[in-house]
Amino acid sequence: MSVEPTTKPAAAAGPVGLGDVTVNRMGFGAMRLTGQGTWGEPADREEAKRVLRRALELGVNLIDTANSYGPEVSERLIAETLHPYPEDLVIATKGGLTRPGPGDWRRDGRPEALREALEGSLRRLRLERIDVYQLHSVDATVPLEESLGALAELQQEGKIRHVGLSNVNPRQLAQARSIVEVVSVQNRYNLGDRYSESVIEACEREGIVFLPWFPLNAGALATAGGKLAEVAASHGATPAQVALAWLLRRSPAIAMIPGTSSVEHLEENVGAAALELTDAEFADLSRTSGAHL
């Protein structure tokens, strides 16, 4: 889907508040701006940089990344391409997962490890403060109050503006909110995987933004056919755009961060912000795609 450079379709879905920060609900996830398996440099570094610049042209003002993407590659690329940043650009990053090697993701929620991770992200992103810093995953070997206590300390020191969570259940979210103010939760959620329904409901009640990762369940989209393809055809859209539009319609708490390493796919994804499903289409897709787990 081609979008003229002068338009900003990312704003079509409206804004959402991350604490005292307002962003468009269609953002960008920078995980795929790395090598295969989220490891190493991207195959086409210049294309990756074009994707970042084009995202801003399209009105994206929320970019989500992590120190473990590459590792460190995604953060460095963002700074190299976009710094000095526009005033309205919010960069959210994460700490708490380490990468000893390709395909290897390990939790490390120790306070000293999180502090080191945060300091590294500040250097790579060329920032004095991270707008939204997220605990990438709860470390079962470290009490949650210790991990989040470290982030609360860093927030008090002025190095973190807002704290977010990733990969948590409702009980962990409730526990976290007794320790520090939480502005966002990032869990896996899409048309074919509704495991985090209860987390979304909690976010709606508490005014917390929900950022679904893996918003395009490629397997489910490939086999869905039927209703998904029918809705896409009726709107002159792609099945992927319909899947993203369904997420935006699913809850006002949801903000999108689909990722890609292609400008063409970026434009297609952002174009979904302007796609409005009818009540009947939304209901049919909600019934026929995936199961509520």
* pLDDT at residue 118 in the model: 98
Spell out the residues 6+ positions from residue 234 whose beta carbon is closer than 8 angstroms to its own.
Answer: 281
Nearest-angstrom CA–CA distance, 202 and 261: 32
Q: Own/partner pairs for 236-241, CB < 8 Å, 24+ apart?
A: 237/1, 237/271, 237/272, 237/275, 238/1, 238/268, 240/216, 240/268, 240/269, 240/272, 241/1, 241/268, 241/269, 241/271, 241/272, 241/275
pLDDT digits (tens, 9 = 90+) for 160-201: 999 999 999 999 999 999 999 999 999 999 998 999 999 999
- Over 50: is that where the pLDDT of 110 sits? yes
Q: Which amino acid is at 148?
A: L
- CATH number reported for the structural domain that contains residue 121 in this entry: 3.20.20.100
Within a domain: 26: yes
Within a domain: 113: yes
DSSP state of 220: H
Spell out the residues 6+ positions from residue 226 whose beta carbon is closer than 8 angstroms to its own.
Answer: 288
Within a domain: 21: yes
Within a domain: 4: no
Answer yes or no: 133 catalytic. Answer: no
Within a domain: 148: yes
- Over 50: is that where the pLDDT of 104 sits? yes
Residue 37 burial class via C-beta count within 10 angstroms: exposed 0-12, middle 13-18, buried 19 and up: exposed
Selecting among 69, 85, 133, 195, the annotated active-site residue is: 69
* pLDDT at residue 7 in the model: 72
Q: Which residue has the higher pLDDT, 57 or 222?
A: 57
> Taking a C-beta distance cutoff of 8 angstroms, is the pair 98, 69 a contact?
no
Q: What is the mean pLDDT of the chain?
A: 93
Within a domain: 1: no
Q: What's the number of domains the chain is made of?
A: 1
Within a domain: 5: no
Judged by DSSP in three states, 85 sits in: coil
Judged by DSSP in three states, 267 sits in: helix
* pLDDT at residue 3 in the model: 47
Judged by DSSP in three states, 157 sits in: coil
Nearest-angstrom CA–CA distance, 186 and 199: 10
pLDDT digits (tens, 9 = 90+) for 200-234: 999 999 999 999 999 987 455 545 567 888 899 99
Residue-number span of the structural domain to which 34 is assigned: 15-288
Within a domain: 125: yes
